[in-house]
Structure 1
Amino acid sequence: MNRIDIQNWEPFKLETLFDIVKGSRLTKKDMKEGDIRYIGATAFNNGITNHIGNNEETHPAGTLTVCYNGSIGQTYYQDKEFWATDDVNVLYPKFPMNKYAALFIAPLIRSVGRNYAYTDKWKIEDMKASVIYLPTKDNNQPNWEYIEQYMKAVEKRTQISLDKLIKVIGGG
């Protein structure tokens, strides 16, 4: 796939695309053992900092998590149920978001987060008003079909590269 064409991209406020919900505080002493992802303000491991058994404040798969404190702007697609710390906002899509749309949007949100520093935080009001640009159709609505096809092509290219690398290092 060639370079992405950004000619027909339009701005969208995050609050028009997502309902944004603040995560919940959970202290170490209140954590129970379990296998539910605990998403924190980290730049690593898809935001997973622990696994817990607490399920009172969990969020569903198919959402995005965004650090507004700590590793500000780090954005991850969550494909399993999770608990988000109070340093993380959870973005519930107002559109049918699949993995490909989420993986397309995540770095766009991350780039907006670079405008904030640890001392500023990315407050929920600011996050709601933040703007990302997306490819659009003639009706000025996001072109989710194009986004999905683009990301599938990226995924395919990446898999081909990984397969070649594995072959070179003798892993397969």
Structure 2
Amino acid sequence: MSKDLKLSSLEWKEFKLNDLFERIEKGKCQNTNKETKESINGVSFLSATLNNNGVSGFVEPNYLLQKGNCIMFVNQGDGGAGYSVYKKEDFISTTSNSFGYAKWINRYTGLFVASILCRFKEKYSFGYGRTENRLRKDKVFLPINSKGQPNWEFMENYMRKIEEKQKQKAIKYYSDKIKNLQNSLMKNKFDLNDIEWKEFKISEIFNIFTGATIRQSDLIKGKIPRITATNLNNGIAFFTQETNNYNFKKFENFISISFLGSVFYQPKEVSLDMKIHGIKIKDRELNTHIALFLIPIIKRFSFKYTYGYQLSTSILKAQKLQLPVNSKGQPNWEFMENFMRKIEYKKLNIYLDYIKNKTATN
């Protein structure tokens, strides 16, 4: 591995994308509903999005399957045009994306080049899509070797070095978390079958509040998450600034429940859209572990709500939850918190072993 892995240590040169890739092909799926079938255990379905590494779902593999180990180009879409990402796995994609293949591509060179190609997001938009002709003519600066060719060895080693740094940080972070959890967990038992359960109305144990309508045109781009009825991204649709509108209110450390039934924990300060409810425990502060215990229980009733049958405040107040109770017949918040800590402890150990083994094999 090269000793000097600084980006400034090498000369850089401009290359046309058409010269870098042996072939560039478009995605093959023209009609998602007719040509694909959803499957949790299927292959990645790629759409024109900059979220989740381009993955919008999973589908059964079929004749539309394309090979991975390539670079994905989002050609059009609101917010995704110009985005690029390395794809390791095989996939099925909409025709809104293109894919570049070459012998030089591996996980590390792919990540290096894709990160540079993302700069084209500034060039392309929904109104100015990336056509095949524009894509092939786009130019990118890359580090070069003594022969004036792309220095793939440097790029790979540079990304390996970054990955190793991140792995070591992750190992320390998760090791420290496991150590902090270990002592408290050894003193308690957390069997769901060994504790009494009782039914409570939401209104008995939670304070309830609801967001209000503000026209999106009156909101300015900022840093405050705006929670809407989406079931993605923890309910966050976009980020805004605080306004003087009397309907603009901020809340933090609560569970959000939309009128369509999506449920999320909101630890930080957010703004709520119309018909987004929030609940806080009346007699104590909520925390991550208690919230994670409550959310699956809340989802048992929230899943049934739709546009035709919405979850109103009055309906929410009357909903009932089965919760573990203490000797006084009150919700046993301590048990709930420690039960989720135990699950976190197990998951952290699994993840830490995965990181260490991955480090050892690379």
- TM-score, normalised to structure 1, is 0.87
Q: Could you say which residue in structure 1 is the equivalent of 2:333?
A: 144
- Whether contact under 8 Å (1:6, 1:135) holds in the other structure is no
- Whether contact under 8 Å (2:222, 2:241) holds in the other structure is yes
Q: Could you say which residue in structure 2 is the equivalent of 1:33?
A: 221
Q: Could you say which residue in structure 1 is the equivalent of 2:16?
A: none
Question: Residue 7 of structure 1: CA displacement?
Answer: 5.2
Question: Residue 168 of structure 1: CA displacement?
Answer: 4.8
Residues 41/7 of structure 1: CA separation in 2 closer, same or farther (3 Å cut)? same
Distance 2:222 2:194 in 1: 44
Distance 1:167 1:62 in 2: 34
Amino acid at match of 2:253: G
Deviating more after overlay: 59-68 vs 162-171? 162-171
Deviating more after overlay: 95-104 vs 51-60? 51-60
- The one of 29, 49, 54 equivalent to 2:237 is 49
Q: Could you say which residue in structure 1 is the equivalent of 2:8?
A: none
- Whether contact under 8 Å (2:211, 2:249) holds in the other structure is no
Map residues 1-20 of structure 1 onto 2, 5 A cutoff: 4-5=192-193, 8-20=196-208
Distance 1:114 1:10 in 2: 22
Residues 168/25 of structure 1: CA separation in 2 closer, same or farther (3 Å cut)? farther
Q: Give the root-mean-square deviation of aligned CA atoms.
A: 2.2
- The one of 79, 82, 96 equivalent to 2:267 is 79
Distance 1:39 1:149 in 2: 29
Distance 1:42 1:63 in 2: 17
- Whether contact under 8 Å (2:230, 2:262) holds in the other structure is yes
Q: Could you say which residue in structure 1 is the equivalent of 2:162?
A: none
Q: 1:115 aligned to 2:304?
A: yes
Distance 2:354 2:275 in 1: 37
Q: Could you say which residue in structure 2 is the equivalent of 1:131?
A: 320
Distance 1:14 1:144 in 2: 15
Amino acid at match of 1:83: S
Distance 2:219 2:305 in 1: 30
Identity, % of aligned positions: 26
- The one of 248, 253, 257 equivalent to 1:66 is 257
Distance 2:264 2:194 in 1: 23
Distance 2:302 2:214 in 1: 24
> Higher RCO, 1 or 2 (CA under 8 Å, sep at least 6)?
1
Q: Could you say which residue in structure 2 is the equivalent of 1:100?
A: 289
